Amino acid sequence: MTTKSPAATQWAAAGSALGVLALGLLAVLLGRPGELAHVSALPWWVFTVGFALAEAGGLNLSLRGRRYPISLVGLPLAAGLYLTDPLSLLVGRLTGGLLVSAGHRRQTPASLLAGAFSMIAGTALAELLFRVLVLQYEVLSYPGRVLTLAVVGLAVLVEVGLKVLVHRVGAGHRREAGGLLARALVIGVLGAAVGLIPAMWLVHDEPLVTGAVLGPGLVLGYWAFASLSERHDRLRRLYRLSDDLAHAPDPARAIPLVLEQSADLLRARYAELMLTDALPAQRSTSGRRLWVLRDGRITGPRTPAPDLLFPLAGAALVRGSDPDEASFLRGRGIDQAVRVPLRIDEQVIGHLVVGDRRGGERGFAPADPDLLQTVADRTAVALGNGHLLERLQFEARHDELTGLPNRLDFRAQLDECVDDLISGGRQCAVMLLDFNGFKAINDTLGHHAGDQLLSALAGRFGKVAGKGVTIARLGGDEFAVLAPGMGDGAARALARRLMSAFDEPVRLDANELRIGGSLGVAVGPEQGTTGAELLRRADVAMYVAKSGGGGYRMFTRSMDLPAEQVHTLATALAEALKEGRIGIAVQPVVDLVSGQVHALEALARWNHPELGEVPPEDFFAAAERSGLVVELSRCVLDQALAGARQWLDAGQRVRVAINLAPGWLADPSLPEQITTALAVHDLPPELLVLEVNEADVIDEPDTAHGVLAALTRLREIGVRLSVDDFGTGYSSLTFLNRLPVDQIKIHQSFVQELRSAGRDRAVVQSIIDLGRNLGLEVVAEGVADALTRIELKRMGCRFGQGYYFTAPMAVGELAWQASGRLQGFGPWTTRLLPNGFPPVPAQPTDTGDRLRSPLDAPLDTRLDTLAECSTPTTARPPSAP
């Protein structure tokens, strides 16, 4: 399908106009036919009146927002073919038609010009066909009469068809346009039949009494039909609007309907609806709101500018006759408008405005304000009912006291959000919060005080939570939190902010109330893939926090163990500790440049005679809940230091690292215990690395100061400190400033997504740069393949740890080469690396090589080989390390 250029379209229009003018000139120049010379010619003004009356009483049909008058112009046209000359008929047609179009229909100059050309074409065509076809027979003979009806009907059809053609009716409206043209043809023939009555009387002097009665009756009947049809069309549109409003009670859906159908009803380009803050049953007073439809496009709601406001005195036409009206129209960019108020129970709640006629009409009729007022009345009722329904729906899904979502709404949001996020590979945090001591406040000060406390704290939660976080009240003093897209670190930060809401007392009348809270956090998909599962596990973590005196707790798998299983494990663990059946495994931290072992991290292992290998998180949870965590940690420390002493005696100076459990961190005598253990094994303090998690220090505000002081004392005696899982906390920079650490370990969740080139890569690079600038060792945890190791080295990371190098191994499996390397380990062997990997020559080493700063030696790229990258590693982490 080809589209004509604008220039071609203009030439086609100009050619058509010239053709029409030539056709009209030809009809005028031919003069009056000789066959009618004996018939007296009526003057042009008679036909001007006739055409004006016919046009004014026509039937108006709408097509694509334009009104096409289908009138009885066939009546004066048929009579004029016999009773006047072509020039008088053409002048009468143009004068009468244009007077009605300009004065009654208020059409634009462009529409008047198009209408004039169509009138010339129809009248000239009728004159020419009248000469060629009708006058071949005797004047007003029966064949001539029939042909006259056909000629006039065709002329009316051409006249209306040209108007439709000018407006370019699309393919989707062709059927509607066909119906309009069919009506034009029928009405044209009907008008011609009536117009022949005076012609037969004046030409043949026929006493047509029946026709004289029937003709005016047909005309009056047609005008009555046209009027009823117009009213019926408006009523049909009003009924459709009422029906649509009844099926769209939501104001968000009702308002666009009102704007679109109001503009369609009055054939306008512009419509606006403004609501004040006085709408009954609305739950907020957000001020005035404005919606605007302009050329089919709806915008809003928005706050209207002051110059758009106008006093509402009633329905009226606004034509700009005074300064206020002129300002009203100018602010909207329209020429004329109909403005009506929206009222509910005599209270004005806004207004409805329709402006700028389309379809070639210049203004509005005096009856249009009444029509639009009917629309406004129906709209006001619908909006009032819609807001009442909205209020009921809001109350059904929100807590009456705090205004927060209730349990029903939260569960709906939870299920939908978790399904969408987890299916899309994103994380989601769910939290449960319960007050500590709330029942005592209700019992002593009454439920009114309890309600005030709940409202005050709910407001604080909303302020500290931030955007995108949903907080709901499930009932009583229990609140739930939904945080889409939050992983472990962000969830910890949010939990701390929520707990900070309890820092300040709540003032109630003359009382200051202090209350605490317990918060449980579960993060999906690691800890659940459904809303119900995450909510249940957050509940478990919340009760663990409550049993520990408050604060917040992140869910761990061990929390979900049945109470009897935890008790059984605790009992068996106590016996295992007493009998010395708790062992350790070690996993190396490797220098990514030289391939040497930089340190060995000691990990607790327990092989139960009946249960087999017990997961560390399970027996550590049992130890925490039974008070055995300090004894278990001492056991791991003792074995790690014994191993380091053994290796030192064998000439291998290697560091050992252990994790400090939160329960041991809180022990004030921790520095003395560490110092004593080092003395027992006669081990230099610099060979011990203590790994701490920043959350374990900062999350306990009551003990944080003492913990930081104890760790500082340990650093002063020479023990090295490492921050584990760096990057997942909330205040890492603050933590590094407060604690003199030597090393940071990048959490494996960032390292394992390193090759995705997303935000995780930027986080890893930032941590590496931070460590380099602060002179700290940087260790990447979770290195699982050669490409990750190579990429880390290229980014400037010096040390790595993970299953790519080796899984945790028993101390007895370690064997050292004379060079100081582990036998069967490292890139110079073939046990853990691809076949064909070229060996790296041994480098000179001394006892201090592994303790030098990672910045002492330049990065080496000799290990970056194609074979290493293309062959998968054979060492993979088990499901539960």
Highest mean pLDDT among 172-186, 189-203, 816-830: 189-203
Distances in Å between the alpha carbon of 822 and those of 596, 647, 842?
Answer: 8, 12, 12
DSSP-derived secondary structure for 664-712: HHT-TTHHHHHHHHHHHTT--GGGEEEEEEHHHHHT-TTTHHHHHHHHH
CA dist., res. 726 & res. 732, Å (int): 7
Greater pLDDT, 212 or 500: 500
Residue partners of 224: CB distance under 8 A and separation at least 6: none
**pLDDT classification of 824: cutoffs 50, 70, 90:** very low
Task: Answer yes or no: are the C-beta atoms of 741 and 777 closer than 8 Å.
Answer: no
Question: Which of 526-530, 582-586, 693-697 has the highest average model confidence (pLDDT)?
Answer: 582-586
Distance CA 48, CA 90 (A): 9
Give the pLDDT band (50/70/90) at residue 796: very high
- Least confident span in 344-358, 379-393, 597-611: 379-393
How much is the pLDDT for 418?
81
Cα distance between residue 63 and residue 357, in whole Å = 14
Judged against a pLDDT cut of 70, whether residue 395 lies above it is answered with no
With a CB cutoff of 8 Å and minimum separation 6, the contacts of 269 are 263, 294, 295, 355, 356, 357, 358
Task: Provide, rounded to the nearest whole percent, the portion of the chain with pLDDT above 90.
Answer: 13
With bands split at pLDDT 50, 70 and 90, how would you rate the model's confidence at 843?
Answer: very low
Highest mean pLDDT among 29-43, 152-166, 585-599: 585-599
* Higher-pLDDT residue of 863, 84: 84
pLDDT confidence bin for 512, thresholds 50/70/90: confident
Is the pLDDT confidence value at 398 over 90? no
H helices present in 167-273, as ranges: 174-204, 209-246, 251-265
pLDDT digits (tens, 9 = 90+) for 214-254: 556 555 655 555 565 666 666 676 667 666 666 665 666 77
Which residues in 863-879 are b (16+ Cβ under 10 Å) and which e? bebeebeebebeeeeee
Element holding 410 (H helix, E strand): helix 407-423
The predicted model gives 516-525 an average pLDDT of: 90
Averaged pLDDT, 297-311: 74
Name the pairing type of β-strands 597-608 and 612-613: antiparallel
- Residues 202/39, Cβ–Cβ less than 8 Å: yes
For the chain, what is the mean pLDDT?
Answer: 77
Q: Each residue of 125-184: pLDDT tens digit?
A: 888 888 888 888 888 888 888 998 899 888 888 888 887 776 655 545 566 667 667 777
Q: Rounded CA gap, 189 and 170, in Å?
A: 27
Q: Higher pLDDT residue, 371 or 81?
A: 81
- What three-state secondary structure class fits 335? coil
Residue 690 pLDDT more than 90?
yes
- Tokens at 290, concatenated: 């404005």
**pLDDT for the residue numbered 285:** 42
Look at residue 335 in the predicted model and tell me its pLDDT: 82
Residue where the block lists tokens 């930081």: 708
Q: Token pair 């278990």 is at which residue?
A: 632
The predicted model gives 173-199 an average pLDDT of: 75
Residue 256's Cα: distance from chain center in Å?
A: 20
* Residue whose structure tokens are 């009806």: 149
- Residue 378 has a pLDDT of 77
Residue 202: per-residue pLDDT? 78
Instruction: Give the bridge partners for 655, in sequence order.
Output: 599
544 vs 671 pLDDT, higher one: 671
Give the pLDDT confidence score for residue 841 in this predicted structure: 32
45-74: pLDDT as tens digits: 988 888 888 887 665 555 454 556 677 788
Please state, in angstroms and rounded to a whole number, the distance separating the CA atoms of residues 711 and 671.
Answer: 7
**Is 90 exceeded by the pLDDT of residue 678?**
yes
- The least confident of 54-58, 594-598, 852-856 is 852-856
- C-alpha to C-alpha distance for 881 and 876, rounded to whole angstroms: 11
User: What residues have CB less than 8 Å from 314, skipping those under 6 apart?
Assistant: 340, 341
CA 629/CA 556 separation, integer angstroms: 16
Range 608-612 contact pairs with CB under 8 angstroms and sequence separation of 24 or more? 608/572, 608/576, 611/572
Is 499's pLDDT higher than 80?
yes
pLDDT band at 735 (very low <50, low <70, confident <90, very high): low
Predicted pLDDT of residue 1: 44
Residue 842 pLDDT grade (very low, low, confident, very high; cuts 50, 70, 90): very low
Average confidence (pLDDT) over 817-839: 39
Residue 435: is its pLDDT beyond 70? yes
Count of residues making up the chain: 881
- The full 3-state SS of 572-637, as one line of letters, equals HHHHHHHHCCEEEEEEEEEECCCCCEEEEEEEEEEEECCCEECCHHHHHHHHHHHCCHHHHHHHHH
Identify the pLDDT of residue 521: 94
Integer angstrom CA distances of residue 422 from 4, 541, 756 = 52, 21, 18
Comparing 704-708, 764-768, 802-806, the range with the smallest average pLDDT is 704-708
Neighbours of 393 (CB within 10 A): 12
User: Given the DSSP bridges, would you call strands 428-436 and 347-357 parallel, antiparallel or unpaired?
Assistant: unpaired
Segment among 411-420, 785-794, 843-852 with least mean pLDDT: 843-852
Q: Which amino acid is at 556?
A: T
pTM assigned to the model? 0.44
Least confident of 116-125, 167-176, 783-792, 855-864: 855-864
Look at residue 607 in the predicted model and tell me its pLDDT: 86
Residues 430 and 480: beta-carbon distance below 8 Å: yes
Amino acid at 760: D
Q: What's the pLDDT at 853?
A: 31
Give the whole-angstrom CA distance, residue 781 versus residue 670: 27
Give the per-residue pLDDT at 552.
86
CB 453 within 8 A of CB 441: yes
Burial of 34 from C-beta contacts in 10 A (0-12 / 13-18 / 19+): exposed
- % the chain with pLDDT above 70: 74
The whole-angstrom separation of Cα 162 and Cα 211 is 33
Per-residue pLDDT for 849 more than 50? Answer: no
The per-residue pLDDT for 322 is 82
| Most confident option among 222-231, 416-425, 666-675 | 666-675
Say yes or no to pLDDT of 873 above 50. Answer: no
Q: What is the pLDDT of residue 288?
A: 77
pLDDT at 708 over 60: yes
- SS3 percent helix, strand, coil of the chain, rounded to 5, is 55, 20, 30
At residue 222, the pLDDT reads: 58
Question: Averaged over 547-570, what is the pLDDT?
Answer: 75
383 vs 769, higher pLDDT: 769
Most confident of the ranges 104-108, 242-246, 342-346: 342-346
Q: Which residue type occupies 680? A: V
Average pLDDT over residues 629-644: 91
Angle ∠(549,550,553) on CA atoms, nearest 5: 115
> What letter would DSSP give residue 399?
-
Rg (CA), the chain: 46
Residue 689 has pLDDT above 90, yes or no: yes
| Distance between CA atoms of residues 641 and 682, nearest Å | 9
How many Å apart are CA 797 and CA 591, to the nearest integer?
9
